Structure 1
Amino acid sequence: MGETPVSGINHELWQACTDQLAQQLPEQQFNTWIRPLIASVAPDLSKVTVQVANRFKLDWVRAQYAARIAALLQKISGQHISLELAIAPREVLTRPTQLIRKIESAELAEPALLAMPEEVAGTGFKNRLNPALTFDTLIEGTANRMGRAAALHVASSLGQQYNPLFIYGGVGLGKTHLMHAIGNKLMVDNPAAKVLYIHAEQFVSDVVKAYQRKTFDEFKERYHSLDLLLIDDVQFLANKDRTQEEFFNAFEALLAKRSHIVMTSDTYPKGLIDIHERLVSRFDSGLTVAIEPPELEMRVAILIRKAETEHAVMPEEVAFFVAKNVRSNVRELEGALRKILAYSRFNHKDISIQLAREALRDLLSIQNRQISVENIQKTVAHYYKIKVADMYSKKRPANIARPRQIAMYLAKELTQKSLPEIGELFGGRDHTTVLHAVRKMAAERQRMTELNQQLHVLEQTLKG
């Protein structure tokens, strides 16, 4: 059966699939492996053919993403879809536009997605830095103040203190922005410096290519000669023994020549799973800083600043409305802003709370439907491995009382329930008990990094 290009009538199916993958995957991983894919869809939606640049990438996409893509296509279309992977003909790869994007995406495309890798003048060496991601374009707040200060110090005094710098936190909190900011500042101060920004999956890919082509000398020359290595999402090195071995060698070589290493991860060094102990020890030997979810005022500032960059005016009351409803990370804030600006432009209406409510109605309805006190209790109980019934019981051992307090705190943060209503849903407890739990968890979240990470995971789980 013939197929139509993705730009045809069935474009929306592939667009919806990639939109969901963009939410589920780290940004650099999505940009490296999913964004370049070219899809064509059968008229009856029975088959989707995805074209990949070369054999290596085809094997990697098949192993890592094909099952997820097929499942998403089936979920979105409501019918079984056959997924086929193929190597794209050369003329297809040279098309100036690989995918037709929605108008609002084209108008409000992320600088990170538009910037091309920079080259060090006269060397042909691509540093992969995004020049739009600098310290000047980074909104500072309590959530990232320590990380920003450490990053500035590294950029200003390479190879001295805080080596390596290990930055960790949840998805979409600005870890990648900080790394690019370090690299960009160094390039301004020292244009001849050899800097490389890379995602951990690309490092894995480079190791595999060096194996296949027997080019380990070139591989080592590339990585061991750097002045600054910026590597994103090191958790993706898990279970890859040879890659970890090569990364350890590069790590040691760079430290020996007083080059600097900056890494990001979704968890702190000792929380990494299936990473060799000697690597974890190296990760933990410099400075480790956490990037927290942005507080309300910081979210408001981010929205207003990003609206300005799009030559739009976002009234403060609208920014507060959006910030109160989108709490988890900067990426979700930017997605909400895109929808509002596109809705405003298409309908020729000024930005207001009512317009924001209309533009975000799907997001708000999903939140209202999913985040109930009952759902919070089930999620927290599962996370801390206690019974849901313990949420309502009078039992008070620490392994039960603490998760119960956490669930009360999340109920106050994520629902519109009053303190008495929450108390009633936790076995008829007084509202003062709930207030005590909320205040205690809020205070401990500020000073206990591990608790803050746990709460962030729970919040993201509850928001789907």
Structure 2
Amino acid sequence: MATKCGLHSGLTFDTFVIGNANRVARSSAMLVAEFPGERCNPLFIYGGVGLGKTHLMHAVGRKILEDNPNTNLLCISANRFINEVVSLSAGGRYSDEKIQKFDNKYRNLDALLIDDVQFLCKRGGTQQRLFNIFEALLPKNKQIILTCDTYARQLSDFDERLISRFGAGLSVSIEPAEFELRAAILLQKAKQQGVKLPLEVAYLIATRLNTNIRELEGALNSVIMRAEVFKKPITEELAKEALQGITGTGRISIENIQQSTAEHFNIKIADMHSKRRVANVAYARQIAMYLAKELTQKSLIEIGYAFGGRDHATVLYAVKKITKERAQSQELNHTLHLIEQDLKNWN
């Protein structure tokens, strides 16, 4: 039943590893799964590539179907939705019969899940169709869940009415996984493959790659394959050989982070190095230090040196402070997401 609805096997709440980066999103998704259509409608999940948005959306769908197998649910990618809309005018002429069938299909759903809605940009006709579906489903308390690579208000070439609908329920972000979460994900992925992954190897991979879950899994597979090919146990040494040349930091540098953070907070780049303790400057500096620890492989001492010669204790304090705050503040999560999105332009 779940497969017919477009849901992938294995993408459940049980296989979703929880950490500070996704805890709020996971809790929100569980709430929606337990009370579909009643609260948080629509649910808008946003974040970078490969962070678990799709997994979480499918987990909600599977939970809804488990609780009520008769639910008329559809999980579909934005690209497939676009193709369905385009097919309505095959040959350059709209078919009343096709339109009626399309409308009946979508307007009679109990739950609609759409992945990667950012691909609907510049698709005016498709956006109009989706808007009409929103207008048909939401008043009936039918659940809608959307995933996107950015916050709804950051979408370009979108109908303002549709963006308004996206944000009318609950918007939650999934942030890049912190070190502990990356390691936990690797251990679970290995377990799913029947492989015993030493903890020190999980830590090594988690340190080497800090981008997204897909790349973590790719690195893990490289390690496992090397062990199988050479018939050797998985050790730190073997992992280092398998991961030669692989890094998750791209060309992101501390200087990139300082500049993007300074621009976001509208302060001078020199403030990152200065001794100024004005509240907004100090806060921006702490965020930049936190991002430097998360997105580069620099030590606390190296990071402190790049921020005007500060000692490692100052950097550690900033990292702990921002880590704690982001677990409690949706606004801070959104700020970090925007800066991280901007940093992608450096790659």
What TM-score comes out, normalization by structure 2 length?
0.84
In structure 1, the residue corresponding to 2:24 is in which secondary structure? helix
Cross-structure match for 1:128: 6
Q: Is the 8 A contact 1:134 1:181 kept in 2?
A: yes
Structure 1 position 187 matched with structure 2 position 68: no
Q: Is the 8 A contact 1:197 1:230 kept in 2?
A: yes
Matches within 5 A, 1:126-165: 127-165=5-43
Q: Is the 8 A contact 1:444 1:451 kept in 2?
A: no
- Of 436, 445, 460, 2:326 maps to 445
- Of 316, 328, 333, 2:199 maps to 316
After superposition, the Cα gap between the structure-2 partners of 1:315 and 1:434, relative to the gap in structure 1 and judged at 3 Å, is: closer
Offset at 1:160? 1.7
Of structures 1 and 2, the one with the larger relative CO (CA 8 A, separation 6+) is 2
Matches within 5 A, 1:93-108: none
Q: Aligned partners of 1:191, 1:117: CA distance in 2, in Å?
A: 9
Offset at 1:458? 5.5
Cross-structure match for 1:172: 50
Cross-structure match for 2:218: 335
Q: Is the 8 A contact 1:196 1:229 kept in 2?
A: yes
Q: Aligned partners of 2:297, 2:51: CA distance in 1, in Å?
A: 23
Offset at 1:248? 0.8
After superposition, the Cα gap between the structure-2 partners of 1:377 and 1:190, relative to the gap in structure 1 and judged at 3 Å, is: closer
Q: Aligned partners of 1:426, 1:311: CA distance in 2, in Å?
A: 45
Give deviations 1:321-355, integer Å, cap 9, x for gaps. 21122223211211111111111111111111111
- Of 118, 124, 127, 2:3 maps to 118
Q: Is the 8 A contact 2:2 2:65 kept in 1?
A: no
Q: Aligned partners of 1:270, 1:433: CA distance in 2, in Å?
A: 35
Q: Percent identity?
A: 48
Q: Is the 8 A contact 1:143 1:291 kept in 2?
A: yes
* 5+ residue gaps, structure 2: none
Count of aligned pairs between the two proteins: 338
Look up the equivalent residue of 2:23 and give its one-letter code: R
* 5+ residue gaps, structure 1: 1-115, 120-126
Cross-structure match for 2:289: 408
Structure 1 position 273 matched with structure 2 position 153: no
After superposition, the Cα gap between the structure-2 partners of 1:161 and 1:210, relative to the gap in structure 1 and judged at 3 Å, is: same
Q: Aligned partners of 1:268, 1:165: CA distance in 2, in Å?
A: 12
Cross-structure match for 2:124: 241
Q: Aligned partners of 1:170, 1:410: CA distance in 2, in Å?
A: 15
Give deviations 1:2-40, integer Å, cap 9, x for gaps. xxxxxxxxxxxxxxxxxxxxxxxxxxxxxxxxxxxxxxx
Q: Aligned partners of 1:301, 1:438: CA distance in 2, in Å?
A: 20
Structure 1 position 209 matched with structure 2 position 87: yes
Give deviations 1:351-402, integer Å, cap 9, x for gaps. 11111111111114x74x8454345445556776776556446677777665
Q: Is the 8 A contact 1:372 1:415 kept in 2?
A: no
- Of 226, 230, 233, 2:109 maps to 226
Look up the equivalent residue of 1:221 and give its one-letter code: N
Q: Aligned partners of 1:149, 1:395: CA distance in 2, in Å?
A: 39
After superposition, the Cα gap between the structure-2 partners of 1:326 and 1:461, relative to the gap in structure 1 and judged at 3 Å, is: farther
Look up the equivalent residue of 2:179 and give its one-letter code: L
Larger Rg: 1
Offset at 1:270? 2.6
Q: Is the 8 A contact 2:21 2:178 kept in 1?
A: yes
After superposition, the Cα gap between the structure-2 partners of 1:273 and 1:337, relative to the gap in structure 1 and judged at 3 Å, is: same
Offset at 1:193? 2.4
Q: Is the 8 A contact 1:164 1:261 kept in 2?
A: yes
Cross-structure match for 1:200: 78
What TM-score comes out, normalization by structure 1 length?
0.65
In structure 2, the residue corresponding to 1:363 is in which secondary structure? coil
